[in-house]
Amino acid sequence: MSETLESIALAMVATGKGILAADESSGTIKKRFDAINVESTEDNRRDYREMMFRTTDAMTNHISGVILFDETIRQKGADGTPLVDVIKAAGALPGIKVDGGAKELAGAPGEMITEGLDGLRDRFAQYYKIGARFAKWRAVINIGENIPSTYCISTNVHALARYAKLAQEAGIVPIVEPEVIMDGSHSIERCEEVTETTLIALFDALREQEVNLEGCILKPNMVISGSTASNRAGVQEVAERTLKVFKRTVPAAIPGIVFLSGGQSDLEATAHLGAMNKMGPLPWKLSFSYGRALQAAPQKAWAGKADNVPAAQAAFGHRAKMNSLASKGEYSTDLEK
């Protein structure tokens, strides 16, 4: 079958597979490496990421695609093979983060707007040539006193839709990521309200700008209590409220929803995904596109030492497998042993 936006999107959410978000920008990867006492050099970043891309079983059976940062999509592995080819050889799709990061939104203290639309058409053409078949753009929606404002939500979803349309024009499937941030002491009800409002606005904007929904993947937050809330909601409540909001707002034409982990522990992120997939049938595939929840364990096991590569690959493979099971509704915490 020839490659279409729809066929790429379906491959991204193939049964039992999800996405590895390895697109940490320079500042974020430095923060992750600082935590394991590893210097953030170009070689260390390459070695670390190559180690994951060469975890064959995980990459072939549980990971459909990898979101890369600009540096990584151009990098070669230690033996000179482009990392894009290492990913493709494992049977996964290379993807690219194209946003320029979230910056302060003018005149709106505490709120952010994602930049990066200028020159995006040319960048997409270049990334397509390098091998990217999907892309990612993340919008940040903070919850706080009197925020988010309608202004913040509408400017961010407008930018997401403009990015998505440009991606599709280039033959690249857009992952649209409106992240309602978990930081704060807000209740799960407040997260539910903000997530619902954001998703309604997002799908209005996608429709207005004539984005092809069948060739688009949604990467949202789960509906969850603020990280410092008292009485944080349990797994079942998170699963029920998240699905309630999605059923109200996400058209069935979207082939898949892949969650971000957003600061949840890796076990929490897997348990929530597993609980939701036990509540089917659902109109869309429900899988993962985790950064921290897939990488925290391998980063700790690796700690920058070549001798630790097998243990780090085992840790990455385990989390990929647990999340794969969760995406099929076959996960239980006993399997962690």
Residues at the interface with ligand 5MM (CB under 6 A)? 21, 23-25, 28, 67, 101, 138, 179, 260-262, 290-293
Helix (H) or strand (E) holding 164, with range, is helix 150-169
Q: Is 267 exposed, middle or buried (0-12, 13-18, 19+ CB in 10 A)?
A: middle
Closest to ligand 5MM by CB, 242 vs 261, is 261
Listing DSSP states for 304-316 in one string gives: T-GGGHHHHHHHH
Residue among 7 and 267 whose Cβ is closer to ligand 5MM: 267
Least distance (Å) between residue 300 CB and ligand 5MM: 15
Cα–Cα distances (Å) from 83 to 100, 244, 303, in that order, read 22, 39, 21
CB of 44 to ligand 5MM, least distance (A): 16
Is 237 or 268 the residue whose CB approaches ligand 5MM more closely?
268
Q: Is the preceding peptide bond at 178 cis, omega within 30 degrees of 0?
A: no
Active site residue 179: no
Q: Which residue among the candidates 17, 136, 219, 285 is catalytic per the annotation?
A: 219
- Comparing CB distances to ligand 5MM, the nearer of 30 and 76 is 30
* Residues 45, 29 contacting (CB under 8 angstroms): yes
Q: How far apart are CA 148 and CA 198, in angstroms?
A: 9
SS3 state at 301: helix
CB of 95 to ligand 5MM, least distance (A): 10
Phi, psi of 278, rounded to the nearest 5 degrees: -85, -10
Residues 106, 272: Cα–Cα separation, whole Å = 35
CB within 8 A of 15, min separation 6: which ones? 285, 327, 328
- Asked whether the beta carbons of 267 and 306 are under 8 A apart, the reply is no
Residue among 16 and 101 whose Cβ is closer to ligand 5MM: 101
Which of 50, 111, 177, 192 is an active site residue? 177
- Is 177 part of the annotated catalytic residue set? yes
Report how far Cα 86 is from the mean position of its chain's Cα atoms. Answer: 20
Q: Which is nearer to ligand 5MM, 65 or 291 (CB)?
A: 291
**At a CB cut-off of 8 Å and minimum separation 6, what does 72 contact?**
22, 23, 45, 46, 49, 83
Name the residues annotated as catalytic: 177, 219
